[in-house]
Every structure is written in C-alpha cells, then in structure tokens.
Structure 1
C-alpha cells in the first residue's frame, strides 16, 4: 500500500506546519480564558480539519497491491465437421455422427481427467469455434460443412486473453478446406499447439470429382466446354462414364479410363445452353465397389447464360496503331462481338460501308473518328445513335476533326474543346487521387502506381473543359489537363480519352512487364462501364450471392425508393421464391432503416431458383424486382476422406507442441504436468483510490469544524 500526491509531499508538510502554527496562534490565549485542556481540544479539532483540507487539496491517491495465483488453462479444439464422420467409419454405410462421437469420446475423457493440470476449456471447430460445456462428446454434431483451422487457432487465444492460456490441443482429422494456411497460424501461435489425430490414416478406396471448370458466362446456341478432373485412390482402373446433368437431364456423357491404384484422369464435356439466365450443372460419376464415401462422386458448377454477346462498333479516323491497339483488346474479349470500320482519305471505309442499321450495337467506340474526310451525313448518323442512348467511348487521335466533335457530339461529350490548335506535347498519365477506387481502375494483376511508369501520351494543345456533371479520372502529369473523363446523364454513359499514343501502352518493353495488364484492363473496364445500365428502379432486391453452398443460409438485401428516389423505410417488401418444380414460397423482408431491407430464409435444397419481390406502401404498389440464384451441394468435406497425421505433426512442430494419436492422447496430461511452461502464474494486481474524491473525508472535515464551532459557542468564545 502506498500514497501518491498530485503535488510535492514536502509542500504538503509545509502547509500542515503552517496550519499548526495558525492553530497555535489562535488558541494561545482566549477571551474568556480557558484551561489548557479546552484550548488543546479546540486547537486539535481545528488543526485536524485544516490538515485534512490540505491533505485533500494535494489530490492523494491510495495504491493497493494484491497477488493471486492463476492456474494454467488448456484450450481443446474438437473438430465438429462432416469429414470426421467419414474418417472414423469403416465404410460409407456407417458414416454417422455416432461413429465420430465414439472415436472422439476417449480423447475428450482423457483431457477432462482430474490428472490434467490446470483448467480445461473445450471448443468446437468448423467454420468458426464455439465453447462447449457439459457432456462434451454428446454436444458435438459433426455437421460442419467447412473446416477453418486458422480461424479457430486465432480466435480461441483472443477469447481466453484474460486467462492463463498455456496450451492448445487440436483434436481433428487434419483436413482443412477453408481459410488461410494453418501452418502460418501455427508459426504465430502465442502458446504451444498439441495435436491429436483422429480417424483412419490409410488411403481408402475412393473415386471423387476433383474439379469442374467451365466459363463464367456463356451464350445461347453456343457450345460451352466443361473440363472435369477425377481423382481415384485404390481403384481397379478401367473405363467409367462421366455424366453432365442439369435438373436431372443428361446433357453429355463421355467415357474416361481411370488409372489403377491412385491417380487422376480428365475429360472434356460440352453442352449447348437452351435458355438464358443462371444455370447450374452437375457432373456425376457412378459408385465404385468398396468406396469409403459416395458423397464426393458429384460436383456442381454455375454459369450465367446470356442471350447474345455485346456488340461493339469501332470507328477509326484512319489506319493507325491506336486503332489497332483498341481493336486488339476488344476482339480478344470473350463476350464482345466487334464490327470495325476505318475511314479512308476519300470518305469511304475499309472493311465495307457503315451498316445500314446501327440500332443493334450496344456500344460505339470512336477511335479518333471522325476525320475531316468523313461526310457530314455519316457523322450525323453516328451522333444520332449516341443521342438516342447508345453508350459511346471517344478516343482522341491526331486525325480527329475537333470541329465535327463540337458540331455533332456537343450534347454527349464529357469534355468539350474550348480552343483548337495543332501540335501537342508529351506527358505521362496521372490517376486522380480521389478516383483510385473507381471500377475502371480495378485491373487484376497490376498496381495503379504503374500508370506513372507507362510511356507518355501525346497531349493536344487544345484546351478542354469537362461538363459540370462529368468526372475526371486521369490528368496529364505536367499540366493537369484532363485525359480521362466520364459522364452519366439521363441514363447515357459516355467517356473521353483525350490523349493519343495508347499503342505505346500495348507494346511495353520487358522492363515494364509488370504493367502489361494496364492497357487491356483499362480499355475493357471502360467498355464494361459504358455498357452497364443505371438501375433507377424504385425496388432493388438482390441475393447476397449468385450461388449458395448447400449449408449456407440464403439471404437477400433490398432497397426501396419512392417516385422522387427518396428512401422508403416503412414499405412492405414481399418475396416469392420459386424452385425448379414451380413450388412457390412467400417471405417478407425486414426493414433496417434508410430504405434498406434484409431477409434470411435459411438453407434450401440443391437447384436453381427464381424470385420476385414486390414493395407496397399503405397498400399502394411501389415497384417490383426479380432475379435468379442457385444452391449447390457443398461436398468439400468429403474431398479427402482420410486423416492426415503428417500435416498434424507439422502443425504441432511449428507451434512448439507435440503430436499424438487417439491411442496415445492419454499421455498428454502427464506430459503437460512435466513441462515448466505449463504452470500457474502469479498475477500482481494494483488498485488506486482517489481519496480526494471520497465523501468520508468531507464528512470528517464538516464534523470537526461543527464540533469546534459548537464547543466555542458553549464556552462563550467570540
């Protein structure tokens, strides 16, 4: 116990001494005269009151120290996922939670034994961890659809941060299929991690669909490839059929020869989509004799089928490297169909005349177009197409007729030339800081900072003025002149790239190989941004994922607006979900404020679903929305139906622990008791009390002063 003061204790002693002197001077003689006893009593009361006041004015703090012993805590993580059913069963017919529970119970009982030093805390392990109490083995369900070892190894120390955690025991089959690499988590573990491997470590006979790969998008009446990889363990070999199905209907079937013993085999399947929308495919192989499980004999994949490819009209001012660089990017884009026309000095076009009907194009790309040689009526046709709502991308080139841009495209250009001139300067492209998160800059495989290292562009001497509703995303590094300008007005999207020489970006030297994705990524993103339709619907309801796993809860988010596009928070939003058989299930979304709504409907069977949402306010309809989603069976827990003791041993070694099996787990308590690191710790706890805030001292001061005043009146002192 100790005192501390807000000011110097020597100053406090001086103040107390002054208080003592004043008290002595006050009571050294009194009128009327009192005996020495009364003077000492009255002086003592006053001195104590003054001393307490001085003491409290110096803000005294009482510090108390306590020591207590905390026993060591052992955290036991028990794998509660579906794979535990398989690795503890002799065959698929006996793969049940009871078999896994029977295998885990001796390990749990050994760790709960009284001989285990310290305190034991049990947690289940799956996608997340949860505390277990009571009958540990009986509370395990072994139904987790994913195994995330890293998450549990990180969260349990956080949950026990106020206790003396000295060790972690991981009871598992060693299979992990979600989250980061557990070995890295073991390297950073604050305490040793001991592992107990449960389940059969031999390689049982098993045939599984290892992977199914197909396009994310496909088109009607086109052939879609599906690449299937099979993995076999302990198989006899020979041919088997691989079937591609959709809603129980066979789309394609091929024979593939499996290797004998252990190995892989691949086969290519195809199908032709017959309808647009989100579709789910299932690849299935027949059951083989003696398989440990058949739950991995099928795997699903989803893709979105579009009615047709995006049609793009590319118009060039003249044959040039810039036009070639643009065409090359768009012609290599899988979901884009390019029609290119490049003007010539005599006013005609290479590759044929301009199509008679331009209304079928989704985006117009003006690669320097028009040049001065293009007839006005042709330019007017293109300008009318853009004014009617077709998105347009304007790329400036040396041959561009800026007068024609001002005359025919004035109402749709994101930026207008306020002055015109010949020639130009070179400058590098600079990304506007506030626009770094814009979708056109989300380029996979390259950092935005690499734009600064790209070859310089040719910047015209013309001055450009962005329209008030435009957004400048890129500027010239030397002059800050706008180089990339985007605009959205009344549903029409247009963009202007006001620097020529992009062909240099498409032909980078080897020293800039890291920047290779920038040009094709930027050009593709501009096209995708221009084609994206603005959603001005008053009701917007979307599933949180296009494809949900078999054990994932299907959920929706929604937004509701009135005619003035103001959020509506009191609407009734009803959703009807329809499965592939036509069965309808109605639900109601819950409001969360600011016009937003949520809904979670739980898990659904495998298949493709349609939904329709309708919002009403006081019985008046506000609007509707609709869409599709799919539910795929989640079988990743059955992809490796055996225990992995090698991995468990690696994890224990890297975390400073020891590896055990279900047969040797009873040795763990004795091993822990012999370790110096697994022991109780003495915790020093201190507490502080601010005495100057304590009311008891105020009461004591008032009591002392009141007593002195009462005695003075009783004795007749003035």
Structure 2
C-alpha cells in the first residue's frame, strides 16, 4: 500500500503548517474568553477540516498491490467429427458413435485424473471449436461433417488468454479436411502441443467413390458422359457393379474390376436426361465383405439440363475461307447446333434454301452476309429477325454489300461505315487496354498479348464510326486506330461487329505461333457465348450463392430489387418460398443490406433438389418476381480416409514442442507435465488505485467538522 500525490508532499506539509498557524492565531484569544479546553476543541475541529481540504487539493491516490498464484491450465481439444466413428470401429459395420466414445474414454479419464497437475479445460473440435462442460464424454456426438484442426489450435489460446495456459492436448485421428494445415499453426503455437492419436492406423478394406465428374450443362435426350473414379484399399481384385441412379431409378450400370490391394480405377457411365432443370444423379457401389465403412460408397453430383442446344444461323457472303473458319469453330462447340447457308452467284443457297421459320434461331452470324447476289427480300427477312431482337455477330468480308448493311441493319449495327464501298489494307489486331479483362478475351491456354503477333487482317480503308452505346474492344495497330471489334448492348439486344477480313489465317498458324493456336477458336466461341447470353433486365433478381450446396453448407441467397426507373429499392419486402421435391414449402424473408441489395441465410437443408420463388413488394405494390432452383448434396468428406494419420500427429507435436502419445501411453502425461518448467504456476501482480480526492466520505467529514465548529461557536456565544 502506498500514497501518491498530484503535487509535491513537501508543499502539502507547508500548507498544513499554514493551516495550523491560522488556527492558532484564530483561537489564541477569544471574545468572550474561553477556557483552554474549549479553545483546544474548537481549534482542533477547524485544523482537521483545513488539513483535510489541503490533503484533498493535492489529489491523493491510494495504491494497493496484490499477488495471486495461478495454477497451470491444460487445454484439451477432442475431435468430435464423423471420421472418429470410422477409425475407432472394432468391426466393419456402419460407423457408430459408441465405438468412438469407448476409444476416447481412457484418454479423457487420464486427463481428468487427480494426479493431473493444474486444471484441464475441454473443447470440442469439428467444423468449429467450442467449450465442453459437465459430462465431457456424454457431450461428444462425433457427428461433425468437417474437421478443422487448425481453428481449434488457434481458438484455445484465444479463449484462455486470461488464464495460465501451459499446454494443449489434441485428441484426434489426425484427419483434417477443412481450414489451413494444422502444422503451420503448430509452428506458431505459444505453448507446447501434445497429441493423442486415436483410432486404427492400419489400412483397412474400404471401397469409396473418389470422384464423379460430368458436364455442367446437358441437353434433353442427348447422351451425357459421367466419369467415375473408385479408390480401394486392400481390394479383393474382383469385379463390382457401378450404378448410376436418380431418385432410386437406375440410369446405367457397368462392371469394373477392382485392383488387388490398393489403387484406383475409373469407369465411364452415360445417361440421357428426360427432364429439363437442375438434376441430381448418384453413383453407388456395393459393400465389400469386411469393409470398414459404407458411408463413402456413394457420391452425388448435379448438372443443369437444358431443353435444346443453342441454334445458330450462319450466313456467308460466298464460299470463302473465313466462313469455313467460323463454321469449324461453331460446329465443334458442344452446346451449339449450326445451320449454314452460303449464297451462290445465281441468288440461291448452298445446302438448301433459307429456312421458312427463322424465329427458332438463337443467334445469327453474318459472315460477310449479304453479298450483292443475295435477293433483297431475303436480306429483308434476315434484317427483320435481327432488328426484332435476335442477337447477331457481323463479320466483315471483302464481298460484303456495305450498302445493304447500312440500309437494312442500321438499327442493330454497332458501327457504321462512312462510305458504301471501301478498299482494304493490312493491319494487325490490337486489344484496347481498358478491355483486356473483357470476357471475350478470357481464352484458356493463351495470353491476350499474342493477338498482336497473329497474321494481319484486311482492314477497310474507309472510316467506321461506333454508335454512342457501343464499346470498342479491338483496333487496328495503325496510327488511325480504326475499330476492328465493336460490341453493343441496347435494351437487352446484343450485337457485335468484327471489321476485319482474313481470320482464316488465324485458324492456320505456322509452328512458330503454336502458342497462339487457342486465340481464334476462343475468340469466336466467346463472341457467340456473349451474344447468346440473355441480358437480365428483370427488376427482381434473386440467386442462390451456389447451384449445389454441400450437406452441411448453409443455403444462402443474394438479391437485387429495382423500380421501373432502374433505381435500386432498399426498403422492399422480399419474400422467398423454397419448395422441396415433395411439395413442402419453406417461407423466408430476405434482409436488406442497402443500395437495393438483399441477403438470406436459410441454414442447412436435407439432401435433394429445391425450387424457389422470390416476390418483392413495396407497400401494396408488386415490384416483380424471380424463380430458380438449386440442390443440396450429401456430404461424405469425413469418410474419404478411414484410418488414423499417426504421422501427422507426430509431426504436429514435434513442431509445437510437445510429445506424441497414444491411448496406451497417455498415463505418462501427468508426470511429464509436472516435470516441465513451462507447465507450472505463476504469480500475477495486480495493482489497484483509489483516488481519495474523489471520495465523498472525506467531503462528509469536512462538512461535519465545520458544522460542529460553527454549532459550538454559536453555543458559546463567540463573535
């Protein structure tokens, strides 16, 4: 305990001495005269009041110091995930929580023994870490669908930051599948980490569906390939059937011979979807005799089934290499069906006349079309189709009738020529710097910078002027920088113009430009995909954050709401109704986040395919609706490695300065902890301060002293 003052204590003594002198001078003689006893009493009351006032004016602070001994704390992290059921099962039946409890119990009993130094704090580790209390063994369910060991190792020191944490014990099978590598966390651990490896480390017989891959999109009544990879441990070398099924109905089945021992084998399955929409299929293999678990013998995947392929009408100016280069690319695109018509000098078309009904086409590709030989009524039919809203790609050719372009396609062309005829000159293609990240230039296997190394194009000498709402993505590598690739979006209609001839050279590159081979097919495909993508101009847009959610992933949505003026609406009521395959409806309301944006977290849903419908209202006014679908797949990641990883557990303990144990050797831990200097009690010095000059008791005492003096003076008749 100690005192401190805001000013020098010598000055305080001087002030007290002055107060004493003033008191003596006041009561050395009184009128009427008083006895020495009364004068001493009155002087004492005044002196004490003045001394207290001086004492408080110097801001006295009382400091107190306390020492507290803290026992060491041991954080015990227990793996509560599903994989613990598998690695601890004593038979080959389905995994059970009781088997895991039986294996973990001796470890927990040893850590709770009276001989254990310090205090143990228990935590559950799975997808997240949380403290355990009460009956520890009864609190464990071993049902976590993921294992994040790193987050548990990070959470324990944070949770116990105010206690004397002396060490961490991790009780686990060592199988992690979420979060960062626990070895990296162990390197930075502030205390030693001891590990207890639970479960069988030996390879046991297990057959699992390792991977299922298929197309993201498919079409009705078309064959869809499904590639299945099986992984087997201690395989019997016998054939097993691999079944592809949907809602309990078998779509395809193929036998495959498993390796003898450990290995992988692949098999190809096919099916023809009969319904459009988001479809979920499951690959299943039978149980092997003596298999450690059957929870990984099936795996599901989802794909979106469309009613038909994209219908493309390809119209050329004449039989020419550029038309062939375009046709080859589009006919090799899986989701595209091409109808090509090439005019002849007599006004007819190769491969048959123009179809009577053009409304069935999704995109029109004008590869130089029309040439002067094309009848005017045919040009007018195609122009009406494009001007009415069908996406179109314009590819300029030396034989293109520019007068027909400006006369019939003026409403949809992204750029207009200054003259109806033009000469051509050679120039290289250059991407506009601000457009390098545009989706049409995202070409897998090649860099956009290679465009300037491609053979030069035939570029029109006359000027072309882009429309005000158009975007120039590519120019000629000349001083004029004439536009070569122009895109336009107007009221949901997408059109693009490629104003250079000779792209066939890009399709037949020499060997020294082999790195640029993907550029032409990639650019042509991306332009077609960009033009054929429907612009979403609906006032209400609600989408799930994923088309397929894992079994324990929270299903969530994002949304946007706009009014008729395309202004965001931030105070609308957006209701979302989720419907499962049985017709059961789950109503929800989205939360606004500002600027017309909304979010919704539904939580986890059972496995299956779901549909949703969103409706937005502002008061009594309906703003619009949106609908879609998503699926929830079963999550079996915990069953992909049905054996304990003792190597990882030993490495983790070694890198964190701890020791690796097993359930058979864990009884050595108490004695070893007692001998470690790091696992010992510490003394914490705590200090507290009391600002006496803020204490009301002193003010009361001063008032009481002064009041007593005043009362006595009146009683004694002093003046």
Deviations 1:581-624 (A, max 9, x none): xx3223322242246352516422x3333344455566665544
Question: What does residue 573 of structure 2 align with?
Answer: 571
TM-score computed with the length of structure 2 as normaliser: 0.76
Displacement, 1:84?
Answer: 0.8
Question: What does residue 243 of structure 2 align with?
Answer: 243
Question: What does residue 22 of structure 1 align with?
Answer: none
SS of the aligned residue for 2:145 comes to coil
- Whether 1:80 aligns to 2:80 is yes
Unaligned segments of structure 2, at least 5 residues: 12-52, 700-719
Give the alignment of 1:453-602 within 5 angstroms: 453-456=450-453, 462-468=463-469, 470-473=470-473, 484-498=485-499, 504=506, 507=509, 513=515, 520-565=521-566, 567=569, 569-571=571-573, 573=575, 575=577, 577-579=579-581, 583-593=582-592, 594=596, 596=598, 598=600, 600=602, 602=604
Are the structure 2 counterparts of residues 525 and 453 from structure 1 closer, same or farther at C-alpha, using a change threshold of 3 Å? Answer: closer
Are the structure 2 counterparts of residues 342 and 642 from structure 1 closer, same or farther at C-alpha, using a change threshold of 3 Å? Answer: same
Q: In 2, Cα distance between the equivalents of 1:362 and 1:370?
A: 19
SS of the aligned residue for 2:411 comes to coil
Larger CA deviation: 402-411 vs 67-76: 67-76
Tell me if the contact between 1:485 and 1:497 (Cα under 8 Å) persists in the aligned partners: yes
Displacement, 1:488?
Answer: 2.0
Give the alignment of 1:176-325 within 5 angstroms: 176-186=176-186, 192-317=192-317, 323=323
Q: In 2, Cα distance between the equivalents of 1:108 and 1:654?
A: 24
Question: What does residue 451 of structure 1 align with?
Answer: 448
Are the structure 2 counterparts of residues 185 and 335 from structure 1 closer, same or farther at C-alpha, using a change threshold of 3 Å? Answer: farther
Q: How many residues align?
A: 691
SS of the aligned residue for 1:432 comes to helix
SS of the aligned residue for 1:124 comes to strand
Deviations 1:111-156 (A, max 9, x none): 4556656665433222222233343332222111122334444555
Larger CA deviation: 483-492 vs 238-247: 483-492
Are the structure 2 counterparts of residues 455 and 441 from structure 1 closer, same or farther at C-alpha, using a change threshold of 3 Å? Answer: closer
Question: What does residue 132 of structure 1 align with?
Answer: 132
Tell me if the contact between 2:576 and 2:612 (Cα under 8 Å) persists in the aligned partners: no
- Whether 1:423 aligns to 2:425 is yes
Question: What does residue 664 of structure 1 align with?
Answer: 665
Q: In 2, Cα distance between the equivalents of 1:418 and 1:184?
A: 65
Question: What does residue 382 of structure 2 align with?
Answer: 382
SS of the aligned residue for 1:108 comes to helix
Are the structure 2 counterparts of residues 66 and 402 from structure 1 closer, same or farther at C-alpha, using a change threshold of 3 Å? Answer: farther
Give the alignment of 1:357-376 within 5 angstroms: 357-370=357-370, 376=376
Q: In 1, Cα distance between the equivalents of 2:156 and 2:521?
A: 45
Unaligned segments of structure 1, at least 5 residues: 6-11, 17-48, 57-62, 700-718
- Whether 1:647 aligns to 2:644 is no
Q: In 1, Cα distance between the equivalents of 2:205 and 2:499?
A: 64
Tell me if the contact between 2:484 and 2:499 (Cα under 8 Å) persists in the aligned partners: yes
Displacement, 1:96?
Answer: 2.4
Tell me if the contact between 1:171 and 1:198 (Cα under 8 Å) persists in the aligned partners: yes
SS of the aligned residue for 1:102 comes to helix
Q: In 2, Cα distance between the equivalents of 1:430 and 1:160?
A: 57
Tell me if the contact between 2:466 and 2:472 (Cα under 8 Å) persists in the aligned partners: no
Larger CA deviation: 423-432 vs 96-105: 423-432
Q: In 2, Cα distance between the equivalents of 1:686 and 1:526?
A: 73
Deviations 1:24-68 (A, max 9, x none): xxxxxxxxxxxxxxxxxxxxxxxxx9xx99x99xxxxxx999999
Structure whose CA Rg is larger: 2
Structural RMSD (CA): 5.7
Q: In 1, Cα distance between the equivalents of 2:375 and 2:161?
A: 77
Question: What does residue 29 of structure 1 align with?
Answer: none
Q: In 1, Cα distance between the equivalents of 2:626 and 2:252?
A: 34
Q: In 2, Cα distance between the equivalents of 1:70 and 1:352?
A: 93
SS of the aligned residue for 2:432 comes to strand
Displacement, 1:410?
Answer: 2.2
Q: In 2, Cα distance between the equivalents of 1:686 and 1:316?
A: 90
Are the structure 2 counterparts of residues 180 and 353 from structure 1 closer, same or farther at C-alpha, using a change threshold of 3 Å? Answer: farther
Q: In 2, Cα distance between the equivalents of 1:376 and 1:616?
A: 50
Give the alignment of 1:625-640 within 5 angstroms: 625-640=626-641
Tell me if the contact between 2:372 and 2:401 (Cα under 8 Å) persists in the aligned partners: yes
Displacement, 1:244?
Answer: 1.7
Larger CA deviation: 544-553 vs 306-315: 544-553
Question: What does residue 706 of structure 1 align with?
Answer: none
Displacement, 1:199?
Answer: 0.9
Tell me if the contact between 1:242 and 1:253 (Cα under 8 Å) persists in the aligned partners: yes
Displacement, 1:307?
Answer: 1.3
Are the structure 2 counterparts of residues 609 and 680 from structure 1 closer, same or farther at C-alpha, using a change threshold of 3 Å? Answer: same
Displacement, 1:391?
Answer: 1.0
Q: In 2, Cα distance between the equivalents of 1:545 and 1:205?
A: 35
Displacement, 1:308?
Answer: 1.4
Q: In 1, Cα distance between the equivalents of 2:319 and 2:260?
A: 59
